[in-house]
Amino acid sequence: MWKLIKPRSGNLFVWQLALLALLFVFWHVMTVPGLIPPFMFDNASQAAFFFGEPLKMFDRIWAWFVTDADIYKHLGITLTETLMAFAVGSGLGLAGGLWLALAPMASAILEPYIKAMNAMPRIILAPIFSVWFGLGMGSKVALGVTLVFFIVFFNVYQGVKEVSPVVLANARMLGADQRQLLRHVYLPSATSWVFSSLHTSVGLAFVGAVVGEYLGSASGVGYLILQAEGSFDINTVMAGIVVLTVFALALDSVVGRIEHRLMKWQPKTGETEKL
């Protein structure tokens, strides 16, 4: 019988860093002359043109943050748009999911409209938001909100719907009113669903901000990437992608820390197996 080997917490981070370093080494080697497989590219310069060079990409990041120090304004705008979209979309999704889950009549009436809006490719709303809210932060935040809202909404809705009827019946027998049920039964049941959706929503909030900057903006990291694409500067494009990824992971880490603090009552997987 196979025995599952779990990684140690002490060396797990080392293994993760080693894998990341290996990926960058592979990327670098693939752009070195004489090492490119002939079935892919004729020479290394072609590979560098399409995929960029990691050393030049890191030089671009270093210039952005240290030498020229000209990215802070753009990064600040993109992060502000992202955080606003994340906060507003998550708040509306949480409130809407709770409301419809606890209001069967409203849920039955609005269900087809919500499904229709969720099925719509919301990226196409970006030009409309640009007309409505202008080319400033408003249009980017609005697009991000539409991307975040439905992820949080459906997770909260499902989390409340899956509350155990036995727990509800016991709480009502103990005299719990609707407010107490919401605080002590529905919200704890939906909490794990909420945080699961928030981890996904972090990336979507960045997508909304960057796509909005693509379609009309004079600032932001998305604007820098768009300018680099126009001049076929793949190294700057890759640098922008790496910067956005790092900050998305940082925001996701913050969400994870909040989740760990608020979910202390929930038993861990290992503890559950022992019970």
Could you tell me if 35 and 171 lie in one domain?
Answer: no
Could you tell me if 64 and 30 lie in one domain?
Answer: no
pLDDT tens for 17-39 read 888 889 888 888 777 765 555 44
Q: What percent of the chain has pLDDT over 70?
A: 80
Could you tell me if 47 and 58 lie in one domain?
Answer: no
Could you tell me if 117 and 222 lie in one domain?
Answer: yes
Has residue 42 got a pLDDT over 60? no
CB atoms within 10 A of CB 69: 10
Residue 7 lies in a domain: no
Has residue 106 got a pLDDT over 80? yes
CA dihedral 251, 255, 260, 261 (to 10 degrees): 110
pLDDT tens for 47-86 read 666 777 888 888 888 988 988 888 888 888 889 999 999 9
What pLDDT does 43 receive? 55
Could you tell me if 22 and 116 lie in one domain?
Answer: no
Question: Based on the structure, what is the number of domains in the chain?
Answer: 2
Which residue from 92, 86, 216 is spatially nearest to 144, judged by alpha carbons?
Answer: 86
Has residue 272 got a pLDDT over 50? no
Could you tell me if 158 and 240 lie in one domain?
Answer: yes
Residue 247 lies in a domain: yes
* Dihedral sign from CA coordinates of 218, 220, 225, 226: negative
Could you tell me if 227 and 107 lie in one domain?
Answer: yes
Could you tell me if 105 and 38 lie in one domain?
Answer: no
> pLDDT band for position 88 (50/70/90)?
very high
Could you tell me if 120 and 30 lie in one domain?
Answer: no
Q: Which domain holds residue 19?
A: 15-51
CA dihedral 259, 263, 264, 268 (to 10 degrees): -100
Could you tell me if 62 and 30 lie in one domain?
Answer: no
